A and B are shown apart, each in its own frame.
Chain A
């Protein structure tokens, strides 16, 4: 009955590899997000999609490419992984925009060696 789910939960990989993280929400929300949380717990927005359309694209290297096949799914593909990409990545969803409560997934802990 998980509201926002992410896979995988843990990801350990070598520098230079390409990896994907998947996110699914069963809340019927229109808006989905990707956040990056660094080791100091700072949570920063990366992307936001509303009904499969990109609405927020923060200053993120273009090695990061989000894809939303439908409004219940938002995946994140990362090319040429770097050490600095090591962080916890959270997917979230909300009924509409930024004034609504956001529901977060459990996070994907990415470690780049």
Chain B
């Protein structure tokens, strides 16, 4: 079993839809949870960052962490064609521990 599981997609949605992206994990030591967005042929860039359980909202993006279920989600409201990218979940136990990435979900938002 991989430490972090993420559905690779691809996920194709119409413009304006609500998108839900999810990851599950097995390492209960993870405390820091991140979502990175990666456009084609570019490096990943941080989109959302959450410590421990709870929700965090930033504009059209909401990140949720449920540590009891070892499940994290990213919601994108009013999706735009510019949101078309690969979304990578990532998590870490903190300190100088490594960050473990999911395999990424490729999202396409169709105008």
Question: How many A-B pairs with Cβ below 8 Å?
Answer: 68
Quick check: is B57 within 8 A (CB to CB) of the other chain?
Answer: no
Quick check: is A83 within 8 A (CB to CB) of the other chain?
Answer: no
Cross-chain contact of A98 among B42, B49, B99, B104 (Cβ < 8 A): B99
A41-B42 in contact (CB<8A): no
* A72 vs chain B, min Cβ distance (A): 18
Quick check: is B79 within 8 A (CB to CB) of the other chain?
Answer: no
Quick check: is A43 within 8 A (CB to CB) of the other chain?
Answer: yes
Closest to A109 in B: B41
Cross-chain contact of B98 among A42, A48, A90 (Cβ < 8 A): A48
Q: A45-B98, A55-B96, A98-B98 are in contact. Are A107 and B103 (CB under 8 A)?
A: no
Residues in B neighbouring A48, C-beta threshold 8 A: 96, 98
Q: A40-B8, A43-B88 are in contact. Are A99 and B103 (CB under 8 A)?
A: no
Mask, A41-76, CB within 8 Å of B = 1, is 111110010100001101000000000000000000
